[in-house]
Amino acid sequence: MGGLFDISTKENKIKSLEEQINEPNFWNDIDKANQVNQELSFLKKEISTYQNLSKKINDDEEIIALLEIEFSSEILEEIEQDLNKLQEDISNLEINTLLSGEYDNSACYLEIHPGAGGTESCDWASMLLRMYERFCDKNDFKYEIMEEQAGEEAGLKSVTLHIKGAYAYGYLKCERGVHRLVRISPFDSNKRRHTSFASVSVVPEIDQSINIDIKEEDIRIDTYCASGHGGQGVNTTPSAVRITHFPSKIVVTCQNERSQLQNKEQAMKVLKSKLFSLEQEKKEQEIAKLKGITSGIDFGSQIRSYVLEPYKMVKDNRSGYETSEADKVLDGDVKPFIESILKLK
């Protein structure tokens, strides 16, 4: 377990970060200081988890050795429960070892857009939003809605979440792609079965010290009245901001802050993260092409099916993981699917 977890490297990293914190000019750059503190907190938590698991294993080994000398059914029952919990904790630790990508420990921006299908797909987008909100609540991720556009009759035309927490991007990057829903439509008076699609996009929140060149002539900034978030000024002042980047055709909107300036700053952060992620994807595609690899797991591909009629099943098309407990999945129980993808990779 020690070799997999690389405990010594993490301890050396903690020492290095603590040295940075003790430097006299450390707090001159607040953003960088917060990032260092966050990374230090994550590393200390990981070390503590490892040490606690190691201690539990040693303690349980000693108790088992004592049981061989003097048997007790009560102690045996306790040790069985403890071992089951230990197995679960070690499994979670194993997942953390798979989250070793450069930006896996970053916050992220998650966007949901309905596909063709009008009201059906807009409603499916709102169901996905609820699923990810529940997922965040269950896994101690903090989130805020940066932008939300309601559908004409029901559901959502688009929504962007800013999600923070340990390995937020590492987990949620597995959700990138097209999600398919099959159900009896609540909007069809003939109660026919409909298939709806919605796409999910996830990009990491990058360190703003990374140089992303955005020329003024390449963007257009529009302002408008927010439609749902932003405080008392909603619908009365043009505080919401939309930035269009012409070369990449990326459009970013933000309306959750109270002031236009704050929304502009947030929108620029998202734009930089998207442009950086786009460049990374291009490099990965070039490397894959050189290796002769073609991947079906990219944005625009169908990654998961949620079937509610004529039977209930959710199946991931990449890992093959499936469950008949579709209601639990839609209520935020997405982690088993994410873990199946991490283990597959």
For the segment 213-224, what is each residue's pLDDT rounded down to a tens digit?
888 899 999 988
In a domain, 320, yes or no: yes
231: left (phi over 0), alpha (psi -120 to 50) or beta: left
Kindly report, residue by residue over 110-142, the tens digit of the pLDDT: 999 998 778 899 999 999 999 999 999 999 899
User: Is it the case that residue 196 has pLDDT exceeding 50?
Assistant: yes
Kindly report, residue by residue over 250-298, the tens digit of the pLDDT: 999 998 887 899 899 889 989 999 998 888 778 767 655 654 544 443 3
Which of 44, 73, 98 terminates a domain? The answer is 98
Range of the domain at 20: 2-98
Highest mean pLDDT among 63-77, 121-135, 140-154, 173-187: 121-135
The stretch 337-345 carries a mean pLDDT of 89
CATH of residue 15: 1.20.58.410
In a domain, 209, yes or no: no
Whole-number Cα distances in Å, 158 to 240, 245, 253, 291: 15, 18, 10, 36
The stretch 214-242 carries a mean pLDDT of 75
Residue 307: what residue type?
V
In a domain, 229, yes or no: yes
Which of 248, 263, 291 terminates a domain? The answer is 291
In a domain, 78, yes or no: yes
In a domain, 208, yes or no: no
Is the domain of 56 the same as that of 190? no
Which of 48, 79, 98 terminates a domain? The answer is 98
Kindly report, residue by residue over 43-64, the tens digit of the pLDDT: 888 888 888 888 888 888 888 8
The stretch 27-40 carries a mean pLDDT of 82
In a domain, 166, yes or no: yes
User: Is it the case that residue 210 has pLDDT exceeding 60?
Assistant: yes
Q: What whole-number distance in Å separates Cα of residue 14 and Cα of residue 46?
A: 11
For the chain, give the mean pLDDT: 85
Of 10 and 3, the structure prediction assigns the larger pLDDT to: 10
Give the model's pLDDT for residue 75: 84
CATH of residue 259: 3.30.160.20
Is the domain of 90 the same as that of 123? no
The stretch 79-85 carries a mean pLDDT of 86
Q: pLDDT band for 299, please (50, 70, 90 cuts).
A: very low
Contact, 323 vs 314, CB < 8 A?
Answer: yes
Give the model's pLDDT for residue 334: 97
Alpha-helical (H) ranges within the chain are 2-5, 7-21, 30-69, 73-98, 119-138, 168-172, 260-291, 326-330, 335-344
Q: pLDDT band for 209, please (50, 70, 90 cuts).
A: low
Is the domain of 183 the same as that of 325? yes
Is the domain of 287 the same as that of 334? no
Q: Count of domains in the chain?
A: 3
Give the model's pLDDT for residue 307: 96
Give the model's pLDDT for residue 228: 56
Of 8 and 323, the structure prediction assigns the larger pLDDT to: 323
Q: Is 159 helix (H, G, I), strand (E, B) or coil?
A: strand
Is the domain of 26 the same as that of 46? yes
Residue 158: what residue type?
S
Is the domain of 127 the same as that of 195? yes
Give the model's pLDDT for residue 157: 92
In a domain, 13, yes or no: yes
Is the domain of 157 the same as that of 94? no
In a domain, 138, yes or no: yes
CATH of residue 183: 3.30.70.1660
Is the domain of 190 the same as that of 331? yes
